Amino acid sequence: MADLTINLAAICTPADYNTRPLDTIYSNFIDALPVVKYCSENNKRLIHFSTCEVYGKTIGSFLPKDHPLRKEPEFYVLKEDDSPCIFGPIVKQRWSYACAKQLIERLIFAEGAENGLEFTIVRPFNWIGPRMDFIPGVDGPSEGVPRVLACFSNNLLRREPLKLVDGGESQRTFVYIKDAIEAVLLMIENPARANGHIFNVGNPNNEVTVRELAQMMMEVYANVSGEPPLDEPMIDVSSNQFYGEGYDDSDKRIPDMTIINRQLGWNPKTPLKDLLETTLTYQHKTYKEAIKRQMSQASASS
């Protein structure tokens, strides 16, 4: 029997938080309970994948937009051992995912404190790269809504305007999947230095608004594909239109990297433009012809 269990199972797409909140809560909390219990009772080490969503909104988001404290890192940089977890109201079901993830983190931490469970909790900050999520109607459901990179990739491949939810003003950081895997391998290989810790795994140098991400992706994809830009490359849609009632969002997600650097010596390497070039080259090569065929078939049958 293995001495290490890595738990990655979860319902974790934004569209599901709103439309399937019960499944989301069960998947991320109830279904994880037997895994934690098994590891605790059988002296198995656990690496549990959580999410940067557990932080919710930043303290700075509650300050007036022109307030000078908004520029102070302590009000928006997210620290594993210090930053509070601030969610929206209960009627905003979008927070069902973050709340369930936070509660299982608290259970794991309590098992460590009371029963000696050896654990490491991973908080991913937007890991992206080739094969990231599904392209609707090609290798996933046509009605599905994937994460932002796959959403924008799907629009680019179909030559559709990129949809910016609520103006695309939310800010995100993105880390290349190869960099993130290096961090996880260090956790696996260095149990004494990883046990008992929660690690942010992200790249604070790759921060952009969602609108800026869309602009970068359009520029990179134009170089990759050789296709001219659309006359109307982006359109604004409301969160209610895109995700349905009950959606809410965090403002900024900038990870503090102090703990993972101190314990494991890890820092991300890949700039955002480089990882977008790699990812969109793969997306174009893998999906463009399949989408052409799908669109041609749909046109012929209409």
Phi, psi of 268, rounded to the nearest 5 degrees: -70, 155
Quote the tokens at residue 283: 């997306």
3-state SS class at 185: helix
260 C-beta neighbours (distance < 10 Å), count: 26
From the list 104, 97, 144, 148, the residue with the least C-alpha distance to 126 is 148
What angle in degrees, to the nearest 10, is found between the helix axes of 33-41 and 96-115? Answer: 10
Sign of the CA dihedral with 261 first, then 266, 271, and 276 last: negative
Tell me the C-alpha distance between 169 and 163, whole Å: 12
Q: Going by C-beta distance under 8 Å and a sequence separation of 6 or more, which residues neighbour residue 106? A: none
Among this protein's residues, is 97 annotated catalytic?
Answer: yes
Quote the tokens at residue 284: 């174009």
Among candidate residues 97, 176, 243, 287, the one labeled active-site is 97
Q: Which residue has the tokens 């078939």?
A: 297
| Active centre residues (catalytic) | 97
